[in-house]
Amino acid sequence: MADMATKRIRTAVFPVAGLGTRFLPATKSTPKELLPVLDTPLIQFAIDEARAAGIDRMVFVSHPDKGSIEDYVRHDPELCAHLRAAGKHDFADKLDTLSLDEGDRAHFVMQTERLGLGHAVLQARPYVQEEAFAVILPDDLILGEKGCIGEMIEAHARCGGHLVATMEVDADRISKYGVLVPRGGQGERLTHATGMVEKPKASEAPSNLGVVGRYVLDSAIFDQLAVQQSGHGNEIQLTDAIAATTGAVGLAGYRFSGIRFDCGSQEGMLQATLHVANMRGLMAERRTPALALVG
C-alpha cells in the first residue's frame, strides 16, 4: 500500500455507457454525457478535472450506440481548419485546447452489456494495468476552487488504498447512494472506513456519508470485480467490490471542498446551469424575464 501511495495517478476511467433514461427524449440520440451546462458538455468538465490533476491517460468505457462521445472527445483537425479559414480563430483555439489528441492517450473500450458500474470499471483493466487509478462519473459535476479528483489524489498519496469522495446526505435521500461504513470518528477531510453499502434503506444506513462519483482505487479492485456477483439492482456494483477489498488495501472517504451537482437528475442539471451562469456573471443584470424569475 505504501508503495502504491508514492506513485502518481496517471489514469482516469470514465464510465459513459449508461442509458440516461431520466433525460429522455433528449438522450434518445444525444448521450447524457454530452448534455451541456450552458455551452460545455458534462464530459468536458470531467476531462478538464482529470487534466488539472495531472492525468494524461483517459479510458472511456462507452457503448456502441454512443459513438458521438468519441466524436466529441477526439480532436477534429478538419473542423478547426475550417474555422480558421473562416477567420474564427477563437473557436478553433478553444477546440484545440479542449479536445484530446494522441498525446493524451485517450482510449475507448465498449461495454456492450450494461451489467453495472463495477462491470464498466472492469472493462478498463487492460489500459490501467497494475497501478492505482481514478474513476470519474461525469454526471456527478463537482465545481470548486480545487478540482475534486486533484485534491483526492493529493490525499491518496498520504493514505493509499481505496479513497472515495463523500458528502453528508439527508436521511430521506441516503438510499440513492453508496454509503460509507466509518471506522471510528471523522477527520476534517478523511474518514477511515471498514466498508461501503450500496443504496441501503434509510433505516439501515451505516452513516450519513454518501459516496459520489469520484474514486481513487487500488488495482486490487480488478481481481475482485472479475468474480464479483450481482448486487443491488441485479448489477455488478463497484461498491461491493470496494467493500470486499477493504480488508486487504484499506478504505477512506474524502470530504471534498467543492459543490456537487447530480446532473443525472433534471433538478441537479438546472442547479448546475444556474450556478455556472451566476459564476459567469450572466444573471447579474436580470436581462430577461426568465432569468429574473430564477435569479
Residues forming the site for ligand G1P (CB under 6 A): 117, 137, 140, 177-178, 198, 210-213, 238-239
Nearest approach, Cβ of 99 to ligand G1P (angstroms)?
27
At 100, the amino acid letter reads L
CB of 183 to ligand G1P, least distance (A): 19
Nearer to ligand G1P, 80 or 269 (CB): 269
Contact 254, 190 (CB under 8 A): yes
Cell of 278: 451566476
Contacts of 24 (CB under 8 A, 6+ apart): none
Nearer to ligand G1P, 128 or 137 (CB): 137
Look up cell 443504496; give the residue: 199
**CA 279 centroid distance within chain:** 22
User: Least CB distance from residue 64 to ligand G1P, whole Å?
Assistant: 20
Q: What is the DSSP string of 249-274?
A: H-EEEEE-SSEEEETTSHHHHHHHHH
Residue nearer to ligand G1P on the CB measure, 74 or 199:
199
Which of 80/210 has CB closer to ligand G1P? 210
Cβ atoms within 10 A of the Cβ of 170, count? 9
- Give the nearer residue to ligand G1P in terms of CB position, either 41 or 210: 210
Distance CA 239, CA 179 (A): 9
Name the residue with the smallest CB distance to ligand G1P: 178
Q: Least separation, in Å, of the C-beta of 211 and ligand G1P?
A: 4
CA distance 222 to 128: 10
Name the minimum Å distance from CB 129 to ligand G1P: 24
